[in-house]
Amino acid sequence: MGDETGRVVELLWGAPSRPTRGPRPSLSLAAIADATVRIADADGLGAVSMQRVADAFGVTKMALYRYVSSKAQLIAVAIEAAVGEPPVLSGTGWRARIEQWAGLLRENWLRHPWLPQATVGDRVMGPREVAWIECPVAVLAEAGLTGREQMDAVLLLCAHARNTLTASVSGTQPWTPGAGSGSLREQLARRAADYPAVLAATRSGRSEDNGWRFGLELILNGLEARIGRAGDRRQAGA
């Protein structure tokens, strides 16, 4: 890990090196990242391969290894390109700002549907990605949460956004009507005695936004309760 991680960090965070000798590079890291984003946007993360990115420039796939040293690095720079610049929050009060931030995050992830699944697990985050985290953390810090609470809350919001976006669209889940014969819903109905609650709860399908607003308000209400208490504590202590 040490070596590979170090190189990714350097690539994402280091200054762009400008060596002099030798032929001019015909590509650039930024262009490669953009091409990767376009492919992922169009055909999903699974469609991204070295070959296909190279084809977009009319070069061999091995030429890409002059710019990135592995596919993981390719994805890393593509993520950093896709997240874009962090927003400037304009609302008044922490709740309005967090809500605005969450909405913008979701919008951006809707534009790049592969981003939610690409940003799970252990990764090296890039400057813009951390900047996206920076702004809600600052808001919650001002609101009086502890450092850990700030991070936990922001990551919870990210988790919720991710989950409501990666959730099912096609008819493979209990809450989708399914295509008749072999659908999951039909199987549930045939064992109605075993799954009464799920059947009842999913009778009217799932909410249009996959529970995004529901969960968001739940989390914000929870934060409000905690921030209220934190404020009380601060008042009592002062």
Partner DNA sequence: GTAAACAGTATCTATCGGATACTGTTTACG
Partner DNA sequence: CGTAAACAGTATCCGATAGATACTGTTTAC
Site residues, DNA (CB under 7 A) = 19-27, 48-52, 58-63, 65-66, 69-72
Residue 204 site contact among its own copies, DNA, none (CB < 5 to 8 Å, cut-off depends on kind): its own copies
Residue 103 site contact among DNA, its own copies, none (CB < 5 to 8 Å, cut-off depends on kind): none
CB of 65 to DNA, least distance (A): 7
When the beta carbons of 38 and 226 are compared against its own copies, the nearer one is: 226
Contact 80, 126 (CB under 8 A): yes
Residue 23 site contact among its own copies, DNA, none (CB < 5 to 8 Å, cut-off depends on kind): DNA
Question: Which residues, 6 or more positions from 90, have their beta carbon under 8 angstroms from its beta carbon?
Answer: 97, 100
CB of 195 to its own copies, least distance (A): 5
CB of 127 to DNA, least distance (A): 23
When the beta carbons of 63 and 141 are compared against its own copies, the nearer one is: 141
CB of 9 to DNA, least distance (A): 17
When the beta carbons of 20 and 181 are compared against its own copies, the nearer one is: 181
When the beta carbons of 6 and 91 are compared against DNA, the nearer one is: 6
Residue 27 site contact among DNA, its own copies, none (CB < 5 to 8 Å, cut-off depends on kind): DNA
When the beta carbons of 25 and 222 are compared against its own copies, the nearer one is: 222
Residue 21 site contact among DNA, its own copies, none (CB < 5 to 8 Å, cut-off depends on kind): DNA
CB of 205 to DNA, least distance (A): 30
Residue 94 site contact among DNA, its own copies, none (CB < 5 to 8 Å, cut-off depends on kind): none
When the beta carbons of 14 and 58 are compared against DNA, the nearer one is: 58
What are the Cα distances from residue 199, in Å, to 172, 174, 180, 191, 212?
15, 8, 16, 10, 21
CB of 4 to its own copies, least distance (A): 10
State how far the Cα of 66 lies from the Cα of 23, in Å rounded to an integer: 12
